Amino acid sequence: MKHITLIIIAMLFSVSAFAQQIFDTEFTQTKLLKISGKTTEKAGHLVFDGNDHLSMIYSEPEGEYFIIEGNQVKINMDGKKADLDANKVKMVGLQRSTLLNCLSGNWEQAAEDNNADLTVTEDKGFRNVLIKAKGKVPRGGYSSVELTYRLSDGMMIKMVLEEAIGTINTYEIK
């Protein structure tokens, strides 16, 4: 029993240590609206401190941003601007925690928050993480999240977020 416990602890450390904890990089975003088939492309700079600060400052289109600072979520996207408290707006709180948990490698919590199953596989030099909803998606949650990491350095290179309404955001991290 003790041996199995030690193996499980070692595996948990290796999974959490694998995820890149800090990001300071360029990214591109492709947004697909399933209903209309319309696709938009965006690009910018992403900074994640490994905890509760994430900033995505867009260069295309210039002036747009998505920022998480603790429980505050600041958005200026697609002509809409908001400054929201994730503790007061449950939907925003779920999106905030899902993003932060995915970026920090806390996939189990992201799956639990979204009423989802978690699958982790490795293939051709990549670790693939799939968080797929079991049934009804919580309001503001994701029906699926796909994460791709390079095995060589643990860097996340792709994140695909599918919202319950069918919108798919694909982030490619440089």
- Which pLDDT belongs to residue 21? 67
* pLDDT tens, residue by residue, 46-72: 999 988 999 999 999 999 999 999 999
Q: Give the CATH H-level superfamily of domain 21-173.
A: Lipoprotein localisation LolA/LolB/LppX (2.50.20.10)
pLDDT interval class at 1 (50, 70, 90): very low
Considering the chain, what is the average pLDDT of its residues?
A: 88
* pLDDT tens, residue by residue, 5-17: 333 433 433 444 4
Q: Return the DSSP state at 170.
A: E
Sheet strands side by side (includes 142-150): 80-85, 72-77, 62-69, 53-60, 38-48, 23-33, 167-173, 156-163, 142-150, 126-133, 116-123
pTM reported for the whole predicted model: 0.84
Give the span between the Cα atoms of 56 and 41, in whole angstroms. Answer: 14
For the chain, the residue count is 174
Residue type, position 27, single letter: F
